[in-house]
Structure 1
Amino acid sequence: MIAAIRSNGTLKRSCSTNATRSAGHGGLPGSSEAENWEAREWERTLPLIAEPAAADTVLLGVPMYNFAVSAALKAWIDRVTFPGAFTHPDTGESLLSATRVVAVLARGGAYGPETGRADLDFQLPYLTAWTARLGVRPEHLHPVAAELTRVDVLPFPAGQEEAAAAPPRRARTALCRLAAVA
């Protein structure tokens, strides 16, 4: 789920919508078929760019699949990320420089620095690099990792249930703090 939040309301965008569907075309450049395809693609893309550009806060729900972001989120990122998409045409400044990005990272396992598995985390480094490339200031990126969300199906030592419940509790606390700042 991707939500672009304005001070006067929320716009929601689901990654499973037509926005992430890949479309092909068979027309030759300059043909009416190719022009129609291109027009349809811009009709799908421009609203997806306008939402985060107009938002005070962009909220990203980011499940970790195979140590990285989901294919659905990656498809949305690919749809809205191209040169100039979030650049002011007159000043060249990023339209997202003052935008706050909250990324809720859902992880079945644990990948923090103390786990010995931090080198398997390609989710947060990817999001950090992507938002920086868009011009989001580092201090405006707020990743919140909810780890061990799949402890119910992962092998975990008996008697450690309380330890497994701590990371999701910390994530909820961090999100409540961020929500209070909004």
Structure 2
Amino acid sequence: MGKAVIVATNMLESMIVHPTPTRAEVSNIAIAVREGSDSIMLSGETAHGKFPLKAVNVMHTVSLRIEATFNIGNVFKNHMSEMYAYHATIMSNTLGTSSVVFTRSGFMAILLSHYRLLGTIFAFTDQKRTQKRLAVYQGICPIYMKFSEDAEETFRRALDLLQKQGMVKAGEEVALVQSGKQPIWRSQSTHNIQIRTV
């Protein structure tokens, strides 16, 4: 875990010339999603195919249907961070919230992505390299922002930014998640999750 997985293997090659995919192609998409790929990619189907929009719609529809069948309760949880990400995912999915993650390494955002959080994972980081790395993971919207010495001020600035950008609405609930791998506001490792109203 920790590396982004992109599957790019002519997944809908028949749709370069035909308006519908083969059963095998649909099965390949389903398997890639079920196995936990972060991204699935089209190339020739959209670059020079006759039905680029249909190909994108087929891939999108199949992906959403397969993701809806995930049972994250069966995911392996043997480390504290994984258990924390698992429970943060359950809480966010139950409440129907997006998550706002504050991270330096990107580790917690990646874990939430692998557990397939249903809402968007807004990953705030003060590291440009981490922001770039997180961009390829499923469900993560990485945002670069300098962190204040005061956690509450950073939370407020992050929520204000999301609201100004139209990513969340006033009155909406979000889960605030702090990673413990590289603590931001405390000297010792810690994990913290809160539900806040924007």
Ranked by relative contact order (alpha carbons within 8 Å, sequence separation 6 or more), the top structure is 1
Q: TM-score range by the shorter chain?
A: 0.3 to 0.5
Q: Given the two structures, how large is their TM-score scaled by the length of structure 1? A: 0.34
